[in-house]
Amino acid sequence: MASRRRRRTRRQTGGGQRSPARDASRASGTNKAEKRDQRKGRQGGQQKGGLGRGFWLYMIAVMALFIPLNLYCLNQASPPGPGEETDQQAATILNSVTDPHEPYATDPPTSGPHVTQLAPHGFRTDTLPDEIQVANLSRGYVIVHFGDAGLSNEMRQLAAEFEGHDVIVQPDVNLPAETAVALTAWGRIERLDTFDKGRVYNFVRNYAGLGQPVAAPGAGGGG
């Protein structure tokens, strides 16, 4: 009888004890599951919340600041050429300088109807007809106009310095009194109240030799 009681007592005692390793394993598994649930909760919250209104307001402010700055930097990197841009008229081909056509937008002209005849580069003692001037401009020439006869010697020297380049130097009595020298290229004009050799060279360097598209002979002849 005593032996039976001892065996029953051992079974009850042994059955009520838990293995430490088993408890640790269960606790570890519980902790891992909780961590997974927490990560999923954070990820789900981030996906559900999106970027947020504050982020887009920040991006709009940044773009408003940097777009004008980038445009300014681009303009500084490639500043506009010398002179002023003029409205380009249709390059209608004329049969002769006497053909009627629309008036030129500028005086001296910088674009518009013209003949196919070209004048040679260099210094001239007379003024080319407008229709021939525009023909030369359409082929990349620069024309230097001077209205003061007192500049004749300086203009001759200037033409000699540009010898071999697409530059014509000519007198022009039609220049207004306040304009000593006018420089023309296709679609560009610069007016100088005094002769400034540096500005003349700058204009020539930028535009001489830049040929423009020319309509086929006979296209749209007459005005």
> For residue 181, what is the domain's CATH number?
3.40.30
Q: Which of 26-30, 52-56, 69-73, 87-91 has the lowest mean pLDDT?
A: 69-73
Q: Say whether both 27 and 92 belong to one domain.
A: no
Provide the domain limits for residue 52.
20-77
Mean pLDDT, all residues of the chain? 79
Do 34 and 109 lie in a common domain?
Answer: no
- Residue 94 and residue 190 share a domain: yes
Domain end residue (candidates: 77, 106, 121):
77
Does residue 120 sit in the same domain as residue 144?
Answer: yes
Q: Is 111 helix (H, G, I), strand (E, B) or coil?
A: coil
Q: What percent of the chain has pLDDT over 70?
A: 61
Q: Are residues 95 and 25 in the same domain?
A: no
Strands 167-171 and 122-123: what pairing? parallel
Mean per-residue pLDDT for 180-201? 97
Residue 84, pLDDT above cutoff 90 = yes
Long-range contacts formed by 149-155: CB under 8 A, 24+ apart: 151/180, 151/181, 151/195, 154/195, 155/123
Q: Are residues 67 and 165 in the same domain?
A: no
Indicate if 69 and 95 belong to the same structural domain. no
Window from 23-32, 155-164, 198-207 with minimum mean pLDDT? 23-32
Q: Which of 113, 109, 176, 177 is nearest to 143 (CA)?
A: 109
Mapped onto helix, strand or coil, the DSSP state of residue 60 is helix
pLDDT band of 105, cuts 50, 70, 90: very high
Count of alpha carbons within 13 Å of 22, Cβ hemisphere only? 3
Quick check: is 129 in a domain? yes
Confidence grade of residue 58 (pLDDT, cut at 50, 70, 90): confident
Same domain, 73 and 90: no
The predicted model gives 191-219 an average pLDDT of: 80
169 burial (CB, 10 Å; 0-12 / 13-18 / 19+) is buried
CB–CB of 143/108 below 8 Å?
yes
Could you give the maximum distance between any two Cα atoms of the chain, in Å?
149
pLDDT of 48 > 70? The answer is: no
Domain shared by 191 and 156, yes or no:
yes
Does 141 share its domain with 96? yes
Do the domain assignments include residue 9?
Answer: no
**Structure confidence at residue 8 (pLDDT):** 58
138 compared with 49, residue with greater pLDDT: 138
As for how many domains the chain has, the answer is 2
61 and 101 co-located in one domain? no
Whether 139 and 185 map to the same domain: the answer is yes
Where does a domain end: 42, 77, 112? Answer: 77
